A and B are shown apart, each in its own frame.
Chain A
Amino acid sequence: MRPSALRRSGAIACASCTWLNACNGTSSYLDATGASGAHEARLGIWLTVTACIVVALIAIALVAAMMRHRAAIGDRGDEARAAGASMRNEIRGGLRWIYIGLSGTLIVLGLTFAGTMVTFGAVTHPPRSAAVIMDVTGHQWWWEIRYTDVAHPERSFITANEVHLPIGVPVRVMLHSADVIHSFWLPQIAGKTDVIPGQTNEMWVEARVPGTTRGMCAEYCGLEHAVMALVVTAQPRADFDAWMRDRAANASVPVAPVPSQGAVVFAASCGGCHAVEGSRALGRAGPELTHIASRATIGAGALENTPANMRRWIANAPSEKEGVRMPEMHLTGGQLDAVVAYLQQLR
């Protein structure tokens, strides 16, 4: 399989991309946009090509062996003609296949090992000290992400199911689990690392190319393992810094003497599980929603983030995502509208 073919199929997919704005339409890791991902992709392409060549060579050898005595097919009288001594010579001759085959195998394996070690050195070599630290916590079935700007610790904030990466800046990722084992995977940026309760795994990610891709949980973690995605946005450093500042501040909800009906209903009905900074909603069981309106998806990739979808989700999330922990909310139509209107302001 050629990488160009993969890229082409990615491009086709992009055209039909439904819910990720500016998505490049693929999560192919041979089409890498991250630093370690690029090393891994180079190794992967090399391995893929080698694998195809090896399979082709052996297939040719197999067919050649099958063709060699084709004339004899069906000629069962042949056995009588083959003298014992000549058969024993044949077997000795056949051993050459094993010697040659083994030599070839050893060469391929040696090269593979060398390539592996070179790549290994490149991707595990710790980069310069981190400018940004991401603490990622896997939950059944969503991601909580705390960003810390090392130079400006006050700009620490929590978001959910979205990752922004500054281009050319290595980001240190600390992986925690709130419940079961997950695996944090941003296919085009870097390989996956498991998220395991009882230990904090660490990895480095560095985006090289701007754009939006899909990240996901890669270790089966229960009912909604399939719907535990992340939207990954790689952007220039300046844009990223602006995003950090914006996220660290509260959402600019219009100041009113009396909180809107939506804010009141939200705090009462949703605030036990969800938090919106600067409001009375302080829950931590579910995703942080301070800037929910600016996120691309709802429910860790369950739905595109539109007002209509938001309304469906709040009314009855389990009908959209079977295993979700958020229960069916028994709100009136008016309350629903008010909450959706309120959440739409949280940019």
Chain B
Amino acid sequence: MATLAIDSAAVEQLRQTWETTPGWRGVLSTVDHKRIGIRYLVTSIAFLIIGGIEALVMRAQLTTSGEHLVSANAYDQLFSLHGVTMIFLYAAPVLSGFSNYLWPLMLGSRDMAYPRLNALSYWLFLAAGIFLYTSIPLGAVPNAGWFDYVPYAARAYNPGLNIDFYALTLLLLAVSTTVGSVNFITTLFKTRAPGMSLNRLPIIVWGTLTASVSNLFALPALSAALVMLFLDRRYGTHFFDASAGGHPLLWQHLFWMFGHPWVYIIVLPAMGIVSDALPTFCRRPLVGYTFVAMSTVATAVLGFGVWLHHMFATGIAPLALAFFGGASLVIAIPSAVGVFAWIATIWNGRPWYPAAMKFLVGFILLFVIGGVSGVMTAAVPFDWQLTDSYFIVAHLHYVLVGINVFPVIAGVYYWFPKFTGRLMNERLGSWNFWLMFVGMNVLFFPMHIVGLLGMPRRVYTYPSGLGWDIYNLIETVGAFIFAAGILLFAINVWRSRTRGKAAGANPWNGATLEWSVPSPPPSYNFETIPIVASRHPLWEERLDEGSGRTVFHSELLLDEKRETLATSPLDADPAAIMRMPADSYLPLILATLLGAAAFGFLFSLLWLAGAALAASTATVIVWLWPQAETAPDGMQHTELGELPVGASGTRSVGRWGMLAVVATEGAFFAYLLFSYFYLSSIATNPWPSTTPTLALPLANTAILIASSIFAIWAERSIARGNTSSLRAGLAISILLGFTFLGLQALEYSRESISATYDAYGSLFYTITGFHGAHVFVGLIMLTVVLVRAFRGHFSAANHDAVTNATIYWHFVDIVWLAVFSALYITPHLRA
């Protein structure tokens, strides 16, 4: 690596700009992606250990038939808490941890696109975890399993707070995951080093990008289902109530529309870890990079089309069964691409086997077993036997432990020297691997057999004499072997943190950018932004790919404020110099407020929930209020040409964030409308139970469209620098928006049925109500923009906030057209 002498004063300047204040202020306010990444990793692995302890108690209970270590009630809470903990508080956040830490380092940037959003995402995750576990002291642990089927989860059969804890925990996590995903997507498209084009991204970046896009479209299904569940439980609606036009299968459809993509969301980045780390230990590039990257995307896309395979036994029409069975087989194809690419890489390579590599190779075998048993469950008639038996428990643990936990442990061994500057102990690492690998198979393989012998899942006890005892005994032994492996891992991390061998910048001779900076990396990551020339910047001498050489020490010092480079979405051409916000308490405050709102809803303290949400809105306004440190600041000459400082328009990150938010909100309404059409298609009573009148909503539609037109006029005006037209246009838009809400209220007062009358009423008010809430949010945005317009914040060159607010406003308008067509027009077409 050629080292250009960088002015030590400049480095000192960078350090002072980027370093978080020491002490507790820094702890609470930091937005450093590396510190947030480590927090994610530590917190989620703590949840892995907690969830593991829950599993050990369950295994102890099942050691022999008729055991009475815990009560049936305790066992049901244990397996529910175990599932929710592992799937939501461990498996996804741990991967966010890796990606948060690694993305900017791999992409050649100084932070994520939205550093404060990153902090918010973590604090919300922590708040959700704490919220869930307060259910233990309150004696109301969720008890309906991680997929929480109604009506067992309905108030009639589950009157305690148990399920409310479940619903509110997952809603908090949905917000956390969504803002995290928006951040990853924007980071990927906007803040890469010049030359880091899409075909040079490390595979973990492909994995997390794909997972993040999936999140935007999958999570709203869960959120919609959770909102309906909470309304059913607390406010007497009937979404899932078969006696009033609802249906329990609506929950299952929505849950698995989310749930199956989620499976890929929690494995694709982990497979990315494998695709990136394995070549290092083989000393050869990954075979079939393009295949593997495309398979990652294909898996996620197909993952949206197989949700029904969780419902093969629910009495679904044979044609649908055949289609979804076929689709579930097809999804094995991209997985096979990965497996053969990894094997081919080892085949080509000169592999060596430190602990990280042992876990990677172990992963391949576990992945194949889990994948093949998955193919078995896609065979519909046989799935009628397999589903809900221990075979499924075996399959899902091979998938989730095999494809998530093993790569995660490998990833920790691989990147620990980067995190801490020290290597983990290899001797302990070897024991760690063998205990976990043997324990894993002794624990989970017999579950296949006992499943084929007819043992159903989620039983707190079982009779003897069915041939199940011996396998259960073996499984319990395996569980404790596996746990010993995890314990060694924890010990190894703890010891190596202070006593490990010094690592240096690139202990494994890795190829990607994160290995070009010191271990641990400085707060500003790169002294100068690198200019990337190939997929393997640190292997260019060896590979000689003929693409030139990566410049590690460019002249892109960018040390005036917290600056990094914004680049174009596909080819990563430089677009602007971005200015990043300073450390901030706002993320912590917002997460605390949302946590307080959750407690408000939990205990039916609506004043608390309302006050917390109002305070949250105020916090968001403060958050988005323009700051001097990130304001546009003319042009700067760089070695890559003239670049604007503090970008605006399509060069800025704001637009991308808004588009991502609009996409996920749009999906939320799509799932609500799906629910409407699903229930109407299976309704046995007349649907709708009352036909809504058209006159008032038609007028309202015209009003909303008119308001959008005035918003367009306002935005066009400021683009020409006309501030007074901007103010007038915004004011009229806002006025029309409030008129819409007033007329909506008038229409509500004229409706003959209520939200608690039947499922149609519940849907009518929920869909129009949520739309109304979005109108209200849009009005707040427009009002803030109007206030800023009066304070002279906008000009022809700089009016991002106007554009973003109008994008949201048009989105609200378009959603209304869909809602109007579905709720008001289709009933008249049918009649």
Query: Which residue of the partner chain, among B313, B330, B460, contacts A191 with CB atoms under 8 Å?
Result: B313
Q: Contacting chain A: which of B331-339, B496-504, B735-743?
A: B331-339
Contact B350 A198 (CB under 8 A): no
Q: State whether the Cβ of B373 lies closer than 8 Å to any Cβ in chain A.
A: yes
CB distance from A142 to the nearest CB of B (A): 15
Q: Contacting chain A: which of B463-471, B566-574, B784-792?
A: B463-471
Contact B348 A62 (CB under 8 A): no
Query: Which residue of the partner chain, among B76, B353, B453, B461, contacts A27 with CB atoms under 8 Å?
Result: B453
Contact A109 B333 (CB under 8 A): yes
CB distance from A135 to the nearest CB of B (A): 15
Contact B454 A220 (CB under 8 A): no
Q: Contacting chain B: which of A176-184, A235-243, A253-261?
A: A176-184
Q: State whether the Cβ of B827 lies closer than 8 Å to any Cβ in chain A.
A: no
Please report the C-alpha to C-alpha distance between residue A340 and residue B283 in the assembled complex, in whole angstroms.
77
Please report the C-alpha to C-alpha distance between residue A36 and residue B467 in the assembled complex, in whole angstroms.
23
Contact A94 B332 (CB under 8 A): no
Q: State whether the Cβ of A226 lies closer than 8 Å to any Cβ in chain B.
A: yes
Contact B352 A73 (CB under 8 A): yes
Check A28/B372 contact, CB under 8 A, given A105-B336, A194-B313: no
A-B contact count (CB 8 A): 310
Chain A residues closer than 8 Å to B385, beta-carbon distance: 29, 37, 40, 44, 187, 191-192
Contact A226 B72 (CB under 8 A): yes
Chain A residues closer than 8 Å to B336, beta-carbon distance: 101-102, 105
Q: Contacting chain A: which of B208-216, B541-549, B662-670, B687-695?
A: B541-549
Please report the C-alpha to C-alpha distance between residue A26 and residue B542 in the assembled complex, in whole angstroms.
61
Q: State whether the Cβ of B157 lies closer than 8 Å to any Cβ in chain A.
A: yes
Please report the C-alpha to C-alpha distance between residue A181 and residue B157 in the assembled complex, in whole angstroms.
11
Please report the C-alpha to C-alpha distance between residue A95 and residue B285 in the assembled complex, in whole angstroms.
12
Contact B376 A47 (CB under 8 A): yes
Check A91/B248 contact, CB under 8 A, given A25-B466, A40-B384: no
In the complex, chain A residues 1-55 whose Cβ is within 8 Å of any chain B Cβ: 1, 6, 9-10, 12-14, 16-20, 23, 25-30, 36-37, 39-40, 43-44, 47-48, 51, 54-55
Q: State whether the Cβ of A185 lies closer than 8 Å to any Cβ in chain B.
A: yes
Check A194/B325 contact, CB under 8 A, given A6-B453, A62-B361, A199-B242: no
Q: A interface, how many residues as a size bin?
A: 35 or more
Query: Which residue of the partner chain, among B350, B365, B381, B384, contacts A59 with CB atoms under 8 Å?
Result: B365
Chain A residues closer than 8 Å to B337, beta-carbon distance: 98, 101-102
CB distance from A250 to the nearest CB of B (A): 32
Q: State whether the Cβ of A223 lies closer than 8 Å to any Cβ in chain B.
A: yes
Chain B residues closer than 8 Å to A134, beta-carbon distance: none
In the complex, chain A residues 328-343 whose Cβ is within 8 Å of any chain B Cβ: none
Most buried by A among B387, B455, B461: B387
Query: Which residue of the partner chain, among B151, B333, B381, B465, contacts A179 with CB atoms under 8 Å?
Result: B151
Name the CB-closest residue of A to B71: A322
Contact B364 A62 (CB under 8 A): yes
Contact A226 B384 (CB under 8 A): no
Chain B residues closer than 8 Å to A199, beta-carbon distance: 242, 247, 249, 315
Chain A residues closer than 8 Å to B348, beta-carbon distance: 90-91, 93-94
Please report the C-alpha to C-alpha distance between residue A123 and residue B322 in the assembled complex, in whole angstroms.
13
Contact B341 A98 (CB under 8 A): yes
Query: Which residue of the partner chain, among A88, A102, A190, contacts B543 with CB atoms under 8 Å?
Result: A88
Check A62/B542 contact, CB under 8 A, given A30-B452, A105-B336: no
CB distance from A215 to the nearest CB of B (A): 9
Contact B340 A102 (CB under 8 A): yes
Q: State whether the Cβ of A218 lies closer than 8 Å to any Cβ in chain B.
A: yes
Query: Which residue of the partner chain, among A10, A12, A37, A192, contacts B388 with CB atoms under 8 Å?
Result: A192
Contact B340 A97 (CB under 8 A): yes
Contact A51 B72 (CB under 8 A): no
Contact A187 B376 (CB under 8 A): no
* A residues at B contact (CB < 8 Å): 1, 6, 9-10, 12-14, 16-20, 23, 25-30, 36-37, 39-40, 43-44, 47-48, 51, 54-55, 58-59, 61-62, 64-66, 68-69, 72-76, 78-80, 82-85, 87-88, 90-91, 93-98, 100-102, 105-106, 108-109, 112-113, 115-117, 119-120, 123-124, 140, 179-181, 183, 185, 187-188, 190-194, 196-199, 201-202, 214, 216-227, 229, 301, 322-323
Knowing that A1-B449, A73-B350, A185-B456 touch, tell me 11 more A-B residue pairs with CB under 8 angstroms. A13-B468, A39-B381, A40-B382, A54-B368, A65-B347, A79-B350, A79-B542, A97-B340, A112-B375, A187-B454, A220-B144
Q: Which 3 A-B pairs have the closest CB atoms?
A: A198-B242, A191-B384, A84-B544
